[in-house]
Amino acid sequence: MSHHTVTGPATNLDRVLDRNRAFAATDARTEVPALPFLPRQELYLITCLDCRVDPAQVLGIGLGDALVQRNIGGRVTPSVLGDIAYAAYLVGAKAPEGPWFEVAVIHHTDCGSGLLADEPIRRGYAELMGVDERTLADVAVLDPAKTVAADVERVRRAPHIPDRVQVSGHVYDVETGLVTTVVPAGR
Ligand SMILES: [Zn+2]
């Protein structure tokens, strides 16, 4: 009679929890800014959730360096605008002397959101979510320099985000590993 025991991890996170214990054994967590949202590098990064585009690796962003918001494509959605507005509102309310963060929107080449330009993929996902196909077509990052410029404009035009928040746009090339600025910081 075979004796079968499941010995695998309870969750995939178990595979990295020893890294957490190693982190907790250092004092890195004590060397961070306190609220309200005054990240050390004065950055609010918006990037794709693609695992190749992790700002910790690509930009050397360490703990406490930046606010990081990630979604499909690194797009500036109404929800993202609300989060930027909240972070800026807290700085204004609690620490108006700053430093004020700069919003840096980063889109990248070979983005998975581009698959939404493929009609069967887009139609299937629109049916799944019960949303308008045309809305989804706008999410696709096919020309990252173009979509990032459009998203920078969305932040700059947002009435609830104070002018002290500067906004810039960048493209990360997954082939070369280089980030290129396409919209300099401004408002
Ligand atoms: Zn992507």
> 142: CA distance to ligand 1 center in Å?
10
Residues with CB under 5 Å of ion ligand 1 are 48, 50, 111
pLDDT digits (tens, 9 = 90+) for 102-141: 999 999 999 999 999 899 999 999 999 999 998 888 889 9
- The pLDDT mean for the chain works out to 93
> 35: CA distance to ligand 1 center in Å?
30
Residue 105, judged by CB atoms within 10 A of its CB (0-12, 13-18, 19+), counts as buried
Say whether pTM exceeds 0.85.
yes
**Structural domains of the chain, with CATH:** 34-186 (3.40.1050.10)
Confidence of residue 35 (pLDDT cuts 50, 70, 90): confident
> 117: CA distance to ligand 1 center in Å?
13
Q: What percent of the chain has pLDDT over 70?
A: 96
Work out the number of other CB atoms within 10 angstroms of the CB of residue 16. Answer: 9
* pLDDT given at position 34: 86
pLDDT digits (tens, 9 = 90+) for 72-91: 999 999 999 999 999 999 99
* pLDDT given at position 3: 59
Residues 6+ apart with CB under 8 A from 180: 170, 171, 173
Question: Residue 175 pLDDT > 90, yes or no?
Answer: yes
